[in-house]
Structures are given as structure tokens and as C-alpha cells.
């Protein structure tokens, strides 16, 4: 199977799954696609903010976890508002001081 054929097969499987959900729920395919797009944008925004914050704190473990694990924004929100505030406070006097 070539790459193009596998992409076509995956696309067809995705469309079939969406159609099945649309039939079972009675919601149109366009609305389901819109909902999936909105959830994806929501998750992407939170992931970007959380990755930015983890990189700024030089937290390699959190950066990798946030990059790999997809929780539709839940883990990212928890990291931003709870976990990133845990840990030691950095001293503001470190810059510019010579000993």
C-alpha cells in the first residue's frame, strides 16, 4: 500500500466514523465537524500556553509530558494554574550580582 492509498483509506475511515456518529446522534455531519474543530482549537490554545510556561521554567519533564499527552486541555489547565506554581521560588536578586 502506498502512502497516498493509506492516507485515502484513513480519510475514508474517518468520514465513515463521523457519519456513523451523525446517524446515531441525529446531529448533522457539519455540526459534528464544527464541534471537533472547536475542541481541537481549545486544546491547541491551552497546550501552547502550557508548553510556553513549562519552557520558560525550564521544566523538561513537564514540557515532554504536555507535548506527548493529549487530554483536550485538562492537564494543560492544571499545569498552568496549579503545578507551575508549585516548587521553589526563584530569587529576584540573581541577575546582575557578582560575588
Q: What was the pLDDT predicted at 97?
A: 52
**Residue 60 backbone phi and psi in degrees, to 5:** -65, -45
d(CA 97, CA 75): 37
Q: What was the pLDDT predicted at 59?
A: 93
Angle at CA 21, nearest 5°, toward 26 and 74? 110
How many separate domains does the chain show? 1
- Assess if residue 93 is contained within a domain: no
Residue whose C-alpha cell is 483509506: 9
- Assess if residue 7 is contained within a domain: yes
- Assess if residue 91 is contained within a domain: no
Q: What was the pLDDT predicted at 86?
A: 85
- Assess if residue 96 is contained within a domain: no
d(CA 21, CA 63): 34
Q: What was the pLDDT predicted at 1?
A: 79
Q: What was the pLDDT predicted at 70?
A: 86
- Whole domain around residue 73: which residue ranges? 3-85
Q: What was the pLDDT predicted at 95?
A: 54
- Assess if residue 70 is contained within a domain: yes
d(CA 87, CA 77): 17
- Assess if residue 13 is contained within a domain: yes
Low-confidence ranges of the chain (pLDDT < 70): 88-99
Amino acid at each position: 500500500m502506498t502512502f497516498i492509498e493509506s492516507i485515502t483509506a484513513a480519510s475514508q475511515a474517518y468520514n465513515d466514523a463521523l457519519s456513523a456518529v451523525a446517524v446515531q446522534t441525529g446531529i448533522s455531519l457539519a455540526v459534528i465537524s464544527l464541534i471537533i474543530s472547536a475542541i481541537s482549537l481549545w486544546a491547541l490554545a491551552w497546550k501552547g500556553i502550557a508548553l510556553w510556561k513549562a519552557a520558560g521554567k525550564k521544566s523538561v519533564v513537564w514540557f515532554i509530558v504536555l507535548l506527548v499527552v493529549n487530554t483536550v486541555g485538562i492537564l494543560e489547565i492544571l499545569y498552568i494554574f496549579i503545578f507551575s506554581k508549585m516548587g521553589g521560588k526563584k530569587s529576584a536578586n540573581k541577575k546582575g550580582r557578582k560575588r
